[in-house]
Amino acid sequence: MTDTKNLTQLGTNVETPQSPEAAVLETVPFSRGDGPPAIVRFTCPEFTSLCPVTGQPDFAHIVIDYAPDTLLVESKSLKLFMTSFRNHGAFHEECTVMIGRRIIAATKPLWLRIGGYWYPRGGIPIDVFWQTGAPPEGAWLPDTGVAPYRGRG
């Protein structure tokens, strides 16, 4: 059974953090076992942040794939972290890379990639892709499932 005694958010009523910096990404132990590494995917199709210049909301479909080593991201803490961006002003590129780096800092995965599929700002959709290096050998990497921009689906 997975050790969950150190989790402070799962199963409790937790307020949305006021900023991504204030959000806590919690982890649980993971046993990789033999064979190729597992790939874990989180999809956030309704991600929201704020334009740092106008304060207007920006919307994205975020897809995170990572190959955990010994720690998994606890999903409620990830949801609260992602929601905290609703009050955060930053450009698309900053938000996307910040999410990836925070997950790396929390879990120290074998590999991580993140795709931020941002809806148009000024008529131009901005897609941001970032990864830590080559994917692990033997890992199955499915397509992200996000359509190239034509209204995003």
**Buried-state track 65-82, b at ≥16 Cβ within 10 A, e below 16:** bbbbeeebbbeebbbbbb
Give the active site residue among 3, 44, 51, 143: 51
Between the CA of residue 33 and those of 36, 37, 68, what are the distances in Å?
Answer: 9, 8, 11
Catalytic residue at 51? yes
Q: Is 61 annotated as a binding residue?
A: no
d(CA 35, CA 54): 49
Q: Is 92 annotated as a binding residue?
A: yes
Closest CA to 10 of 30, 21, 25: 25
Q: Is 63 annotated as a binding residue?
A: no
Q: Is 73 annotated as a binding residue?
A: yes
Give the active site residue among 58, 65, 127, 143: 58
Q: Is 74 annotated as a binding residue?
A: yes
Catalytic residue at 95? no
Annotated binding site for substrate: 73-75, 92-93
In the annotated binding site, the residues are 73-75, 92-93
**Residues known to be catalytic:** 51, 58
